[in-house]
A and B are shown apart, each in its own frame.
Chain A
Amino acid sequence: MHASTATRTVARDLLDTLADSGFTLATGVPCSLLSGAFAILENPGDEDSRVLRYVPAPREDSAIGVASGAVVAGERAVVLMQNSGLGYSLNVLTSFNLIYDVPVLLIVSWRGHGGTDAVEHDVIGRELLRLLDVFALPHTILDHADPSGSVREAVRLMDERQCCSVLVVREGI
C-alpha cells in the first residue's frame, strides 16, 4: 500500500512540526496507519536528516525506554506505535515515566476505531481512550486538516503536565 501524496504531506507536516518543536529522537514500532511517517524516518531527505534521529525498536516498551533515556539526558523524544503496543508499554509507563516524571510524546495509531477493523483490534480499539484516561495520559486526536496544530497541542500538554502525551492517529498518514 502506497501513501498518497496528500497523506505524505500530513506525515511530513507532523514530523517537521516535531523537529521545529525541538524533538531530536524518534523511535517506535511500525503500524500501517503510520507508514508514511515511518517512510520519512527511514529515508529522510536532506531537509530532515539534520534533525530527527530514528532508532527502530523491537517492541514498544523498549522504544519508550530509549526515548526516556534521551529525555533524561535533556533531549525531546517521540515514540510511534500502533495502539496494540500500549499493552506492552503499560509497565514502563506506570513504573517509570509516570513516577520519574519523564515526559515522552507518543504517537499512537487507532486500529479498531469504529469497530470495523480486523478482529484483533476490536478490544483495544474499543477501549483505547478509556485506557489512556485510566492512567491520566492526556490525548489529542490528529486533525488531518491541521496536523501541525495537533502536534503542537499534544506537545503543549506534555510540557504543561510533564507527562507522556498521546497524539492519536485514526486514519493513515
Chain B
Amino acid sequence: MSELMLSEPTLSELTLSAVALRVLELHPDACIVSTCGYTSRELFNAADRPGNFYLVGSMGMAAPIALGIALARPDRKVIAIDGDGSLLMNLGVLPMAAAAGADLLHVVVDNGMHESTGGQATARRSDFVALALAAGYRGAERVETAAQLRGARLVPDRGPTGPTGPTLLHAITGPRTEGIGKRVEHTPPQLVERVRDSLGPRVAVPA
C-alpha cells in the first residue's frame, strides 16, 4: 500500500505546467479538460491549444465533463486535469468514472492548497492513488520529482483486448514561484466550439 508522507505544502520540483507539458508530449492529440481557477489559467498560458477545454467555474466538474467526452468519443484520448481541492470537492466522481469504464486519464495536480483563492489549506493532504484504486480505477501512480514524472508510464494504453477504465496520475507540486499569467481569453462558447472542432468526426474503434 502506498503511503503519502506529505502533510504540509512543500517545495517541489514539479509544476502544473511541467506536468501538463509531459502529458501533452505523450498524448499530443488529447482532449484536456482542466479545472477552474489557476489550473485552467496556467494551462492556458503554458500550452494553449484547441483541444484544451478550460473550466472557469463549476469546481469539481472537470472529471465528470471529461468522462462525458470520453464516453462519447472512445476513439480519442481524454484527460482531466484536476486539483487536490477540486477532486476533494467531488470524490464521488471516482467510483462513477470507474463504473462507467471509459479510458480516461485523470491527472491530479496536488499543491496541498486552494492556491487560486490565496493558498488556504485543503481539507486534508490525501492519498489520491489509494482513493482511486479503492474506487475501482484500473491504475494509479504518484510522482513527486521531475525524474519520476519522466519515468511515469502515464498509464498504459489498453491493448486491443485489454480492460478499459480510468487511470489516475497524482502529481505533487508546490506553491507557485512565478506569477500566474493572464486569464483565459476565449469566451466559454468559443471554448466549446473549438474543442468540438478539434475532436473532429468520430472514428470507429474496436469494442
Contacts and interface: CB of A to CB of B under 8 A. Distances in A.
B92 interface: yes
The residue among A25, A70, A72 with the most chain B CB atoms within 10 A of its own CB is A72
Given A53-B71, A67-B68, A92-B61, A62 B90 contact: yes
A31 interface: no
A65 interface: yes
A130 B24 CA distance: 45
B123 interface: no
A91 B57 contact: yes
A133 interface: no
A91 B59 CA distance: 8
Given A65-B65, A69-B64, A100-B188, A56 B72 contact: no
A1 B192 CA distance: 43
A73 B66 contact: no
How big is chain B's contact interface, by range?
A: 35 or more
Contacts of A66: 64-65, 67-68, 71, 96, 100
B96 A57 contact: yes
Interface string A53-88: 101111101111111111111110100000000000
Contact of B64 (A25, A62, A100): A62
B106 interface: no
A116 interface: no
A8 to B, nearest CB: 26
A102 B67 CA distance: 16
A92 B64 CA distance: 11
Given A56-B96, A62-B96, A65-B65, A74 B71 contact: no
B53 interface: yes
B171 to A, nearest CB: 22
B58 interface: yes
21 contacts: A55-B99, A57-B64, A57-B92, A57-B96, A58-B92, A58-B93, A58-B95, A59-B92, A61-B64, A65-B58, A70-B68, A70-B69, A72-B192, A73-B72, A73-B73, A77-B68, A91-B59, A92-B61, A95-B56, A96-B61, A99-B56
Interface of B: 33, 36, 53, 55-61, 63-73, 90, 92-93, 95-96, 99-100, 188-189, 191-192, 195-196, 199, 202
Listed from nearest, the 6 A-B pairs whose CB atoms lie closest are A69-B68, A65-B64, A95-B57, A58-B92, A73-B72, A96-B58
